[in-house]
């Protein structure tokens, strides 16, 4: 029987300290410690607070992952770590921990790209990744359309946000509506009792003149401003703000654009598999709309379960295991943390 690589993966690019253990496509442990509550009162992630929290959570999270999976550190075939993109100080903590483990255990280290890891994680749930596939990655930090031909060597960016990330827009609009941070799940929840066509909010970069230059790019900052203006006008007039309708109409505007552009990108490349990842992939309307429109085009949609969509160590281990399985070279031990690592670079 083929040996399936046993890999421990470390993720610290934002506010989640994730340590996952994977054997081939099988998830053995996914330990996550989040500092999200420490950032809540600031309405966004504070880099220094996140770095400090990673430092404190790292060793206990590694121990938890080993306990859950029942593995001994010396049994792993490799250590994988997110070395970018992300918050510089936060990435450094994970990269330093991974180097210490690799050196101490005498195992190879694989620096992996965070965005490619969001794609690779789906293998843990749905089996081997269809390649090529089109990935729509939407989270608090990124909104990208990627063409994935080989997840271990590089992914082609087809489009990205030119301003706010999709999750950031959810968080900002939630704040405007008096909902807690992170706002995405709250918007999702209150939108269920709202009317998604009550307010006609703008669809960013969807006008004909924008499509020439930005066919596969996103913009959410105009939408956020439109929601703010709409809410302010209501408040000025002394009228109550219909929170459910605003949330539902805003969510519809975001999901409409995300799904339309993702399916356009897939169709234009003749790709039949769309993968959605990142924290916003947990959105119920995004999933439903993608399924509905994709099925009409004969495109299959894969969305990992919410726990695997948000940042975690299992996704890093999944990509690391794939690199080992495909015989990719390990990274040097002086592998740098690169906060702006381009998505085209998967191999460190």
Q: Rule CB under 5 A: which residues touch Zn ion?
A: 139, 311
Number of residues located near ligand KG4, criterion CB under 6 A:
19
Quote the CA–CA distance of 23 and 321 in Å, as a whole number: 7
Among Zn ion, ligand KG4, none, what does residue 183 contact (CB within 5–8 Å per kind)? ligand KG4
**Is residue 220 involved in binding ligand KG4 (CB under 6 A)?**
no
Interface segment toward ligand KG4; rule CB under 6 A; list 55-63, 144-152, 272-280, 290-298: 272-280
Least gap, CB of 192 to Zn ion (angstroms): 25
Interface segment toward ligand KG4; rule CB under 6 A; list 139-147, 239-247, 287-295, 329-337: 139-147
Give the one residue of 12, 35, 123, 139 binding ligand KG4; rule: CB under 6 A.
139
Least gap, CB of 39 to ligand KG4 (angstroms): 11
Quote the CA–CA distance of 278 and 255 in Å, as a whole number: 14
Quote the CA–CA distance of 119 and 101 in Å, as a whole number: 25
Interface segment toward ligand KG4; rule CB under 6 A; list 149-157, 167-175, 237-245, 319-327: 167-175
For ligand KG4, give the closer residue by CB, 307 or 332.
307
For ligand KG4, give the closer residue by CB, 225 or 268.
225
Among ligand KG4, Zn ion, none, what does residue 182 contact (CB within 5–8 Å per kind)? ligand KG4
Give the one residue of 184, 204, 304, 313 binding ligand KG4; rule: CB under 6 A.
184
Q: Determine contact, residues 324/340, Cβ cutoff 8 Å.
A: no
**Is residue 167 involved in binding ligand KG4 (CB under 6 A)?**
yes
Transcribe 256-283 into DSSP letters. HHHHHHHHHHHHHTT--EEEEESGGGG-
C-alpha closest to that of 114 among 80, 150, 66? 80
Question: CA 265, 145, 219, 141: dihedral to nearest 10 degrees?
Answer: 170
End-to-end CA distance of the chain: 30
**Is residue 310 involved in binding ligand KG4 (CB under 6 A)?**
yes
C-alpha closest to that of 186 among 176, 196, 195? 176
Quote the CA–CA distance of 48 and 70 in Å, as a whole number: 33
DSSP state of 218: B
Interface segment toward ligand KG4; rule CB under 6 A; list 62-70, 153-161, 163-171, 213-221: 163-171
Interface segment toward ligand KG4; rule CB under 6 A; list 101-109, 177-185, 195-203, 213-221: 177-185
Give the one residue of 311, 315, 324, 343 binding ligand KG4; rule: CB under 6 A.
311
Structure tokens of 323?
A: 């690199």
CA distances from 287 to 59, 160, 294 (A): 35, 19, 10
The beta-strand segments (E) located in 12-107 are 16-23, 26-34, 78-84
């Amino acid at each position: 029987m083929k040996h399936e690589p046993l890999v421990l993966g470390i993720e610290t690019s934002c506010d989640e300290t994730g340590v996952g253990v994977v054997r081939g496509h099988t998830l053995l442990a996914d330990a996550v410690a989040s500092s999200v509550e420490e950032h809540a009162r600031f309405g966004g992630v504070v880099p220094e607070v996140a770095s400090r929290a990673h430092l404190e959570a790292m060793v206990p999270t590694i121990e938890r992952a080993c306990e859950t999976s029942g593995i001994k550190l010396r049994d792993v075939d490799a250590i994988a770590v997110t070395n970018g993109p992300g918050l510089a100080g936060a990435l450094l903590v994970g990269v330093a921990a991974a180097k210490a483990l690799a050196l101490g255990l005498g195992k190879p280290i694989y620096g992996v790209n965070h965005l490619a890891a969001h794609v690779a994680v789906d293998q843990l749930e749905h089996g081997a990744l269809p390649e090529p596939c089109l990935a729509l990655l939407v989270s608090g930090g990124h909104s990208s359309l990627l063409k994935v031909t080989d997840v271990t060597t590089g992914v082609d960016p087809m489009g990205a946000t030119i301003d706010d990330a999709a999750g950031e827009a959810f968080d900002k609009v939630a704040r405007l509506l008096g909902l807690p941070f992170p706002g995405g799940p709250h918007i999702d929840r209150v939108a269920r009792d709202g009317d998604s066509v009550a307010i006609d909010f703008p669809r960013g970069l969807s006008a004909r003149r924008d499509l020439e230059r930005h066919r596969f790019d996103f913009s959410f900052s105009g939408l956020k401003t439109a929601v703010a203006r709409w809410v302010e006008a209501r408040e000025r007039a002394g009228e109550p703000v219909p929170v459910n309708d605003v949330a539902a109409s805003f969510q519809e505007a975001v999901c409409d654009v995300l799904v339309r552009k993702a399916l356009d990108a897939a169709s234009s490349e003749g790709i039949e598999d769309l993968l959605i990842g990142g924290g916003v992939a947990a959105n119920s309307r995004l999933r439903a709309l993608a399924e509905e429109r994709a099925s009409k085009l004969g495109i299959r949609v894969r969305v990992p379960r919410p726990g695997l969509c948000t940042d975690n160590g299992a996704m890093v281990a999944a990509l690391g295991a794939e690199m080992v399985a495909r015989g990719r070279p390990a990274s040097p031990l002086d592998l740098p943390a690169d906060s702006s690592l381009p998505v085209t670079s998967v191999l460190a």
